Amino acid sequence: MTQAAEPNDGAGETPVPPEGDGRPAAGSARVPIPRPADSAQPSPSVQPVLPVQPVVPVVPVQPVQPVVPVVPVQPVVPVQPGRASVPVPGRAAVPAPQSAIVPGRATVPAPQAPVVPPASAPGRAAVPPPVPAAFNAPVTALPHQPSAPGRASVPASAPTTYQSGQNDVPKKGRKGRRLAVVLVAVLLLVALLGSGAAVQLTRDLPNATLTTGIATTIKIPGALPKIPWPAQGSAELMIEGLGRIGGSGGKSAQPIGSVAKVMTAYVILKDHPLEGDDEGPTLTVTAADVADYQSRIPSGQSLVAVQEGEQLSERDALEALMLPSANNIAHQLAVWGGGDVDGFLTKMNAAADELGMTDTEYTDPSGFLPTTISTASDQVKLARAVLKFDVFAEIVELREAQIPVAGKILNYNALLGVDGVFGIKTGSTDQAGGNLVFAARLKAGSRDLVIVGAVFNQPGANTPEQLAAVNKVVRKLLASVRSTVKEYELLAAKPVGQVETAWGASTTVTPASALKVVGWPGLAVKVKTTTTTPGPRVTAGETVGEVQASGVRVPLRADAATSEPSLWWKLTRKP
């Protein structure tokens, strides 16, 4: 007995879809699905409807993705038994979309665009509808569900996964290409190893090269200072360890008066040097020495009293020669040092030649004769040489001394202790005018310097006026030097070179600090750069050399570490 279907009195309820994939079986007519709107009476051929399970809330439909171009046609999947498939020419058979069915629940299919199936030719099976283009996500067929009694059964298609836009290049081809690349690399490595690559990898790395661009002479920037040279006569200035400041008056040789005694002292100390507190050999005053002393008194020469049999040490004689400028002691030293005066003069002129005093000639050991001539520049050369004798420097700085017979003697150099002056020798005659060869200490920056100079032929009616005139010029010169000679930056702490490895890695080289020297604007300073031989590479801060000038030394250091060579460079470098 057929039971009538219960009317659908649940407004808004969704009818239960038929089981299976919703498509007719092969070779059968499409089975219409009863809907509530079709008829309120049950069809005599339809089996009773199963009780409807509670409706599951509809899941929101995901936004439709853009249509992806159709991929190359895939081979047709074999049809499951019991199901016919009619291929459409030019395209692959694509299974219709299915909705996942949850057992025991009614599933509401997602809305689809209306599909109008084409009319089937008589005697031909219906062609499955095409897959909507909106479906881009993979669609997997569910296992076949058994149909309810009395309902048509539609066999499920084989499980199929479809990904729109999938790369369809065969994987075997890609794997083959990768394998070929690896094989080539292995063959190349084997070839390299067979040709001595192991030796290349372990061979010592060559040393890096260091280059610098530091000049051998650098001028202190700025204009040459204006020096107040004397209006007449001649002058010369230089600083030990730095160089010549300048001069005036040319190279015209003039009488130099008692300044000649500096050469007398130089020859005596050269032949009979004194060390420390040594007094040296003894000179005994003879009757001839006393007679020479007495003969000089009428001419007003500088003298010290002597008496026959008196004994003077070499130091005593040098003090009498340099402080009160005793002409008679110069004569006595000449006889003692040269056998006679002519013999000693020969030594004096020979020493002048050795020192390069090309414009100087000595005709007497005291300088009283106007035929003893020289220049300021020549006498500066001599002064620098004689100051190397410590005993001489000590003597000329004395303001007074005590010797036998004469007793206390005074130094005629009125500038001692003024503006740093500590020597050396005054001289004055009617023909020579006022003269002074001087040495003065100078503190500039961190350096203790010595200025050596000479001023000749200054005017005056007598010795006091002549010496006063020369002292005035010397003080102006010293004041100018003190205001000009300072510490200047000769080389900044900026990159001055480069260390480069054999494989091309490099780093700059920079002085550890600025190279500062004492001098004056325009002074050309000699610079010496020494470098070490770096190893294959250097580290940051590594000392790779040194730059020095005027006694100042500054290390040269690498600014950064150089990188290690690559494996490829080691393999391909030249043997």
Backbone angles phi, psi at 323, to 5 degrees: -85, -65
Cβ(557)–Cβ(512) below 8 Å:
yes
H or E segment to which residue 391 belongs: helix 390-396
Cβ(141)–Cβ(160) below 8 Å:
yes
User: Does residue 261 have an active-site annotation?
Assistant: yes
Give the 3-state secondary structure of residue 123.
Answer: coil
**At which residue do the structure tokens 């061979």 appear?**
203
For 245, residues 6+ apart whose C-beta sits below 8 A from its C-beta are 227, 237, 238, 239, 481, 520
User: Does residue 270 have an active-site annotation?
Assistant: no
Write the single-letter amino acid at 89.
P
Rounded CA-CA distance 374/254 in Å is: 6
Q: Which two tokens stand for residue 468?
A: 């006063």
Give the 3-state secondary structure of residue 60.
Answer: coil
Start-to-end Cα distance in the chain: 105
Strands (E), 112-223: 209-212, 217-219
Q: Is 21 exposed, middle or buried (0-12, 13-18, 19+ CB in 10 A)?
A: buried
Cβ(304)–Cβ(323) below 8 Å:
no
Binding residue per annotation — 425? Answer: yes
Cβ(168)–Cβ(72) below 8 Å:
yes
Rounded CA-CA distance 412/467 in Å is: 9
Rounded CA-CA distance 394/390 in Å is: 6
Give the 3-state secondary structure of residue 331.
Answer: helix
Q: Which of 248, 325, 428, 480 is catalytic?
A: 325
Rounded CA-CA distance 557/553 in Å is: 13
Cβ(147)–Cβ(77) below 8 Å:
no
- Give CA 570 to chain center in angstroms: 27
Q: Which of 164, 234, 248, 258 is catalytic?
A: 258
User: Does residue 325 have an active-site annotation?
Assistant: yes
Q: Which of 157, 164, 234, 261 is catalytic?
A: 261
Q: Comparing C-alpha atoms, which of 301, 299, 335 is closest to residue 317? A: 335
Q: Which two tokens stand for residue 262?
A: 């500096």
Binding-site residue positions for substrate: 425
Which positions are catalytic? 258, 261, 325
